[in-house]
Structure 1
Amino acid sequence: MSTQQFPVIGFIGAGNMATALAGGLLAQGWPAPRIWLSDQHLPQLQAHAERGCRTTADNAELVAAADIVVLAVKPQVMAAVLQPLAASVQARRPLIISIAAGLSVASLDAWLGGGQAIVRAMPNTPALVQTGAAGLFAADAVSHAHRQLAERVLSAVGLAIWVEQESLIDAVTAVSGSGPAYFFHLMEAMIAAGVQLGLGEREARALTLQTALGAAQMAITADVGPDELRRRVTSPKGTTEQALRVFQEADFTTLVARAMTACADRGAELAQELGAARHF
């Protein structure tokens, strides 16, 4: 393929998520010299340089070269990172993809001088093992071609789903952004309970993790929903029914809904708190 099919993509910040996305793009055949990464922590860049990617400690140098700029720094420092780049971004007009939690399109656009094509994305940590799930929202200035590019980048490490209202990014955060932690917590509890029932920690852990993997694979490949799969493994008066009855008595469904609502609410609060730095 020609290099025209591979725009120059630059990651400002070379942490775990940027590393995952860069790795996914490389695995899909994106030429390493057309992937740039910038970071103030130079050792963070070494592995990328060894793979043939372009690396720099100068964000302005990256912006001057990039057709797509992925914002992958911590939300708390985003304003300080972006404001010095506003003139360069205005001149270059790259597609901006933000993977920083809690930062609204309005705040990002203001820090960059206004009128930018910005896609706000919420990936999750399974992207590190190429099984991520991301929600994406496009600002008004984002074209159809920009949408295709953004989806191409995020789908390099898993599933990419568009939402048409920015407020729904908070719902994405509650479902998939923070979702891995819910499953990890359930795994912890199952392992601990298995040990209490007499299994060794190693055996309880192996059985729990394989069961989680198997259940997810069944749910992904089945032609019915998780509700029907649950019914199919729940025999009347059987062992599974007894376990599920305890969950029901504890109002498990309501508990999950409360937890996810708290997560979404906090996402909205963060957007307000972090956006207040717009004019510092």
Structure 2
Amino acid sequence: MTRPGFFQPNGRQLSSAGILLLMAPFFMLIGFAFLYPLLSLLSLSVTEPEPGLSNYVRILDNPLYFKVLLRTLWIAVLVSVLALLMAFPVAMAMVSSSGPMAVFITAFVLLPFWSSVLVRTAAWAVLLQRNGIVNDLLQVVGITSEPIRLLYTQGAVVVAMTHVLLPFMVLPIYGALRNIPSDYDRAAAICGAGPLRRFAEVTVPLALPGVLGGVILVFLTALGYFITPALLGSPKEMMIATLISQQLREFLDWPFAAALVGVLTLFVTAITLVFSKVFRFDRMLGGQL
């Protein structure tokens, strides 16, 4: 027997009360594990060492922290662009393939999810070290005559973050491409459009929701990334997440670290609101147009 009000009158769809009841454990978990710690940390930034905005003024007064924020934005943008350039061909291959080939490509896209970020980052550290495979290949092909510094550079951080976040770009684009009817491409071909024109005027515009969804997922995740920049980056070119960790672990300056978290949270929230106003999130995730 179903409870009154749990289902719609037709008995096939959940009512608003039913949906809220099912979502209650999720909201409780979010409130306990995310909202409460975040609000407690943000309150610390305006109450210690004295009530006020002194911690935020400190961020504005020191140009070093502004440079860290700009560097973080630049790396997030660069990672998003590189991931997009690599993900679109892979997503197209997934859509156009079938049988064992489709399983093979999908497995390689999902393979990073089967290992931790720490393991993947450590693998890049092995590859990029002075005696690593990359340096050996550069010397074999004659590009360099001796090992060069690849590890602990901004390039190493960008490459490793692109590899780690690539699936988050591939999957939304794949969802958008899969929802494009094949009749559209055939109709454009009948009208005389060549492959490049069909790609530019049919495929790309219709896949744009998935592209935007992948870009915003990768960009927002890259803004707060910690493990990869901490292990592969240089202390002179740290990102904001590494700076927050430094304030917490080395200087034990929790109020200032909380202010840095507040700035990052405000920035991420602003970007999310802008995208939610300009683009529908269901379309961005590759839903029906």
* Pair in the same fold by TM > 0.5: no
TM-score (norm 1): 0.26
- TM-score between both structures, scaled by the size of structure 2: 0.25
Which is higher, the Rg of structure 1 or of structure 2?
2
Point out which structure has higher relative CO (alpha carbons under 8 A, 6+ apart): 2
